Chain A
Amino acid sequence: MDTKRTTFNNRLLPYLLLAPQLAITLVFFIWPAAQAVKSSFEREDPFGFSTVFVGLTHYRQLFADPNYLDALWRTAVFAVSVTVLSMMLGLAFAAAVDRLARSAKVYTTLLVWPYAVAPVVAGVLWWFLFNTSTGLLPFFLERLGIRWDHDLNGTHAMILIIIAAAWKQISYNFLFFLAGLQSVPQSLIEAAAIDGSGPVRRFFTISLPLLSPTTFFLFIINVNYTMFDTFPIVDATTGGGPAQATTTLVYKVYQDGYVGLNIGSSSAQSVLLMLIVMLLTFVQFRFVERRVQY
């Protein structure tokens, strides 16, 4: 087959065409990131009158701070729980909708709606549902003998933000899984059906393995989502409390930097967060991708 390739005669033109994207990356990503790295080595008063180079002091303090190490562990629990929960539910919904012939479109539309909800609103919604004095769910939980109190019970608070964050992400996972399922070759499924395997077995032996690229992609996206984009949910529901039980790494960056005006430590935390995400992405691509069947 004859592939047509675009060639540039002008050597400058490709760079010119790239320039807007590069400028955006530089201004909005590289520059602030470099600033954060710089101020993580400095101690500065909030107004920026005196800046002293302090080397690794902020990093050393962070790793000696049990609160930071707790936040690290908590974030891991939060990220894994949200990712697993929202991906499993997204997959379950996708598998269910995939089997529908006529009403699939209606269900797809309805299931995608939560994604359009802003994170803050999602947080507030669940906060209302779980509100200890006026909420609907604590009312029913009380009948089951559970006294719901996320204002004081750290485990309850964590469950609350996991549910709110996962709920919002289900739609996204659902869409990708549905697209993945629909691109599974029909011939394979039919062949298996003829060989006598039922729908459940077909799902686990054919669809699921063929979905692994999608699963892998979603895993990265979801972990990154819980690490960075869940700030509004935490802020609107628990505010990081009680007693820091829901203070994730990104919320701590906000608490220390924005509320506490401790720019140096906050920057050091941002840098560590960047490193964690870089490492995770690297590990995922390097090791997980190898085992993925394309």
Chain B
Amino acid sequence: MFKKLSMAAIAVALSATSSLAATEVTWWHAMGGELGKKLEEIAQKFNESQSDYKVVPVYKGSYPETLTAAIAAFRAGQQPAIVQVFEVGTGTMMAAKGAVYPVYKLMADEGEPFDTKTFLSPVTGYYSDTQGNILSLPFNSSTPIMYYNKDVFKKAGLDPEVAPKTWKEVEEFSRKIVSSGAAKCGLTSAWITWVQTENLSAVHDKPFGTLQNGFGGVKSEFSFNGPLQTKHWANLKKWQDEGLFKYGGPVGGDQAATMFYSQECAITMNSSAGRAGVINNAKTFTPGFAPLPYYDDEIKEPKNSIIGGATLWVLNGKEKATYKGVAKFFSYLSKPEVQADWHQFTGYLPITNAAYDLGQKQGYYAKNPGSDIAIKQITRGTPSENSKGVRFGNFTQVRTIVDEEFQALLANKKDAKQALDSAVQRGNALLREFEAANSN
């Protein structure tokens, strides 16, 4: 109850800084550290490129904090023009029709060129409504890939240039690494929910939920307690007991990166945006990059992986001049050179085909082996209903539940099937909650 008031107060304090000659466009984002600096640089370059509009980026903390702050600000009538919302919040934003100014509509209203086809199709697929309109501007999209320690591989008698392709190989390699004493653990992973559950399902063309993984409406139900997911979770548990796998913690699993950097674990799986961090932190060893492994007895041709990251949503209730500025800024952001710069600096995916082409022309991918693994993985094959993405309401909480059930599995409280069944059941209760809240 106090937080509502205090958040409103903060919102007022932060948005009271306007009134300059140029029309200000506030942009709330969740990019800390190096990424935040780069983002501010982009805004600054846009501001220098013209004099009518001034984009003011404001760092609002983590993704959930940014979303909550924006919602509280909207309720208090103090919302920013642009807010960066992570992919998990997409369901929430799409349901909030009155709060959102859809990007395709904004660009049309302001007469800015905006062609859906210029964007990478998996990216647009994830963020479009059922009619194929893009509701928010893709900004930073990533997909999980595998990182491995070439030096440890060598020490264990493995070929450092050959990454494990299948989960069976991951298991064999890990066992070799641990038994040879090359590293204390074979495998760890960031984002158990996103990487080892959502992406696992997509890559193997298995549904995560009904109604096209929730794209078909708010009546969907979860179905990620199938045989594939059960088998995989049971394997992770088995590997943990054997000492091959180490848990990296809930949500983003921050300790996975730590264990990989300290060479405690030889393999990790994380967002492609973690590439810059890996290169910076792998001072004493050579990192390798590879696509996510798959079960070759489940699927011969693995499907595309799904994206994470965030998009920029435009909020209603601002003046016309502000929206003009937003449209101009979005056009600037979609430029191939801006996109390519951001993509190459951060490891996020290039959002447009043109940015990818530009990178190829610059010879970036040839010079930086492994930097195009994410793009290739996300564009391979034809996306199916199961690999297009996931879209559910209350999904932040659902991810918390999946984390909790995974912890219960690792702590011997439940077996894989019980844990997944319970996650599905608890998740469905939240979906019904969301359906009820958004259908009246």
Contacts and interface: CB of A to CB of B under 8 A. Distances in A.
A254 to B, nearest CB: 8
B410 interface: yes
A46 B411 contact: no
A256 B430 CA distance: 11
A168 interface: no
B403 interface: yes
B440 A52 contact: yes
B258 A47 contact: no
Interface in B97-113: 98-99
A270 B1 contact: yes
B296 interface: no
Contacts of A258: 3, 64, 68
Interface centre among B1, B64, B410 (most CB of A within 10 A): B1
Interface stretch (B28-36, B44-52, B154-162, B392-400): B392-400
A270 B2 CA distance: 10
A203 B319 CA distance: 72
Contacts of B68: 258-259, 261
Given A50-B440, A152-B247, A33 B404 contact: no
Report the contact-size class of chain B (Cβ under 8 Å from the partner): 35 or more
Contacts of A151: 247, 249, 255
B201 to A, nearest CB: 22
Nearest to A154: B411
Given A153-B411, A259-B397, A32 B437 contact: no
A36 interface: yes
Contact of B437 (A28, A35, A44): A44
Report the contact-size class of chain A (Cβ under 8 Å from the partner): 35 or more
B413 interface: yes
A243 interface: yes
A284 interface: no
Contacts of A43: 436-437, 440
A239 interface: yes
Contacts of B231: none
Interface string B429-440: 010010011101
B96 A45 contact: yes
Contact of B413 (A241, A243, A260, A265): A243
B94 to A, nearest CB: 12
A151 B411 CA distance: 10
B123 to A, nearest CB: 25
Given A241-B250, A260-B394, A46 B407 contact: no
A265 B432 CA distance: 14
Contacts of A169: none
Given A152-B410, A243-B411, A259 B400 contact: yes
Interface in B116-134: none
A222 interface: no
B375 to A, nearest CB: 32
A10 interface: no
A242 interface: yes
B2 A241 contact: no
A249 B75 CA distance: 26
Interface string A212-247: 000000000000000000000000000101111000
A267 interface: yes
Contacts of A49: 96, 98-99
A133 interface: yes
Nearest to A264: B437
B1 A36 contact: yes
Contacts of A265: 433
Contact of B397 (A48, A260, A270): A260
B407 A133 contact: no
Contact of B4 (A32, A133, A256, A259): A32
Contacts of B67: 261
B365 interface: no
B299 interface: no
A62 to B, nearest CB: 12
A133 B259 contact: yes
A46 B396 contact: no
A255 interface: yes
A81 interface: no
Contacts of A242: 250, 404, 407, 411
Nearest to B411: A152
Contacts of A48: 75
B187 interface: no
Given A33-B1, A242-B250, A262-B433, A256 B397 contact: yes
A45 B397 contact: no
B408 interface: yes
Contacts of B436: 43
Given A52-B440, A133-B255, A261-B71, A46 B92 contact: yes
Contacts of B264: 133
B5 interface: yes
Contacts of A260: 394, 396-397, 400, 430
Interface string A42-80: 011111111010000000000000000000000000000
Given A133-B259, A259-B400, A262-B394, A35 B4 contact: yes
Given A36-B1, A243-B407, A260-B397, A47 B433 contact: no
A47 B1 contact: no
Contacts of B234: none
A241 B403 contact: yes
Interface in A1-40: 28, 32-33, 35-36
A47 B99 contact: yes
A44 B433 CA distance: 10
A32 B99 contact: no
Interface centre among A36, A43, A49 (most CB of B within 10 A): A49
Interface of A: 28, 32-33, 35-36, 43-50, 52, 133, 151-154, 239, 241-244, 255-262, 265, 267, 270
**4 tightest A-B contacts by CB?**
A32-B1, A260-B397, A242-B407, A36-B1
Given A133-B259, A243-B408, A265-B433, 8 more contacts: A32-B5, A33-B1, A46-B92, A47-B96, A49-B96, A258-B64, A259-B400, A262-B397
9 contacts: A45-B96, A46-B71, A46-B96, A49-B98, A242-B404, A257-B3, A259-B64, A261-B67, A262-B433
Interface of B: 1-5, 64, 67-68, 71, 74-75, 92, 95-96, 98-99, 247, 249-251, 255, 258-259, 262, 264, 394, 396-397, 400, 403-405, 407-408, 410-411, 413, 430, 433, 436-438, 440
